[in-house]
Amino acid sequence: MFVDRYYTVLPSPSFGCPVSQRLRILERLDEVPAERWDALAGGNPTLSHAFLDAMHRSGSASTASGWTPQFPSLWEGERLVAAAPLYVKAHSYGEYVFDWAWADAHERHGLAYYPKLLCAVPFTPATGARLLAEDDAARAKLAEALLGLARESPVSSAHVLFPSEADAGVLRAAGWLERTGVQFHWNNPGYESFEAFLAQLSHDKRKKIRQERRKVADAGVTLRRATGREASEADWDFFTACYRRTYREHRSTPYLNREFFGLLAQHMPDNVLLVIAEREGTPVASALDIFSPTALYGRYWGSTEYVPGLHFEACFYQGMEFCIERRIPLFEGGAQGEHKHARGFLPSVTRSFHWLAHPAFERAIDGYLTREGTHIVDYVDELSEHSPFKATSKAPSADERG
């Protein structure tokens, strides 16, 4: 057991808690009702009980894989008022906010960097609530409990990745170190069609996208989209094979397995989208997206053969069309990828927050993050000066999250 399973969090006058609350550490999500967890998650499918539970049940995020769930949860009687997806990590894989240099510095000075605490959704660089709470008072109390756990536990550090702006405000006020990064997001102000979107782009960007789509069609490749309710077992088997192939090509080990994808299809069929590319009835590529009425999250893709333009078609243009059809306002394209900018994805600032147990390392990293943050601001400014949209068009504003 990493921490005591139960203990009382005394009410803090600064947060105005009227009664004492109980902090309970969850090792399994089936210890909390799914409907109550999802009420706190606010409709974000990457934070849903089904999504996280699938991670754990499939073994994708488990102690054996270096992710030990230790979810702090605040209760008033039998009512859950706040919770956080917190893991004890034995490595830094699957996080998308890179701290390998921090780990190396600790080791070179004879200090262990692992274990560490990580508040995040495994393998999912999507912004959303991390301090799931029914109100600001509960959120602040949960943040206080999270910092208390870090200080009382034998860890080098604690990290909160891709938090919402509400969470960021609480963590910033508590003195956590703030780090910024950049992703590329596509904003849909209500396009009536894909052509209506293209009409807003500069001539060269519009021409390039049309050429890419034409190459796919000329290669005899057709695409279909299937939600979890519509996808067959064969579709999921093929996607899993594509996913594994992509990791093998990059000389890496896949994080997720067929059981995980099956659990998604079974328990959240209205939140998963498969894009299947076929030629003469034979599948040649596939991509997976997670979606809700408010956002689509691009996740994984793979192919069995190279077709010019197919990556962009399966991973971006099909997702854009899906957002237009369903009037989904935001498409988060995932980590990395300046190539997305030329295709209408605008730079969006992401955030993470960090606490270091060793004072000297905390000071050093604080200075580094200040310098890094200045470079991020300059980078976003430079990208904004080279917008893919026509100068006469008002490009949809990117959510820079503060």
Most confident of 19-28, 59-68, 334-343: 59-68
201 and 300 fall within a common domain = yes
227, β-bridge pairs: 273
160 and 208 fall within a common domain = no
Which regions of 111-260 does DSSP assign to beta strands (E)?
116-119, 132-133, 157-161, 177-187, 221-227
217 and 315 fall within a common domain = yes
Within-domain flag for 333? no
Q: What number is the average pLDDT over the span 20-40?
A: 92
Within-domain flag for 344? no
Distance separating alpha carbons of residues 272 and 305, to the nearest angstrom = 24
Q: With cut-offs at 50, 70 and 90, classify the pLDDT of residue 375.
A: very high
203 and 117 fall within a common domain = no
Within-domain flag for 273? yes
72 and 169 fall within a common domain = yes
41 and 165 fall within a common domain = yes
Whichever domain contains 359, its CATH number is: 3.40.630.30
Q: What number is the average pLDDT over the span 331-357?
A: 93
Q: Output the average pLDDT for the chain.
A: 92
Within-domain flag for 285? yes
Distance separating alpha carbons of residues 84 and 40, to the nearest angstrom = 10
ω into residue 115 within 30 of 0, thus cis?
A: yes
Q: List Cβ neighbours of 371 (8 Å cut-off, separation of 6 or more).
A: none
Within-domain flag for 392? no
Within-domain flag for 398? no
Query: Per-residue pLDDT for 184 more than 80?
Result: yes
83 and 149 fall within a common domain = yes
What is the tens place of the pLDDT at every residue in 85-119? 999 999 999 999 999 999 999 999 999 999 999 99
Query: Buried b / exposed e across 137-149, counting CB within 10 Å, b at 16+?
Result: bbbbbbbbbbbeb
What is the tens place of the pLDDT at every residue in 255-287? 999 999 999 999 999 999 999 999 999 999 999
234 and 89 fall within a common domain = no
Q: Are 68 and 88 a contacting pair, CB within 8 Å?
A: yes
85 and 216 fall within a common domain = no
113 and 230 fall within a common domain = no
Q: List Cβ neighbours of 355 (8 Å cut-off, separation of 6 or more).
A: 147, 150, 157, 158, 159, 176, 177, 362
What is the tens place of the pLDDT at every residue in 186-245? 999 999 999 999 999 999 999 999 999 999 999 999 999 999 999 999 999 999 999 999
44 and 152 fall within a common domain = yes
Within-domain flag for 142? yes
Which regions of 100-200 does DSSP assign to beta strands (E)?
116-119, 132-133, 157-161, 177-187
* Residue 270 belongs to domain spanning: 190-328
291 and 178 fall within a common domain = no
Q: Structurally, how many domains does the chain consist of?
A: 2
Query: Per-residue pLDDT for 3 more than 80?
Result: no
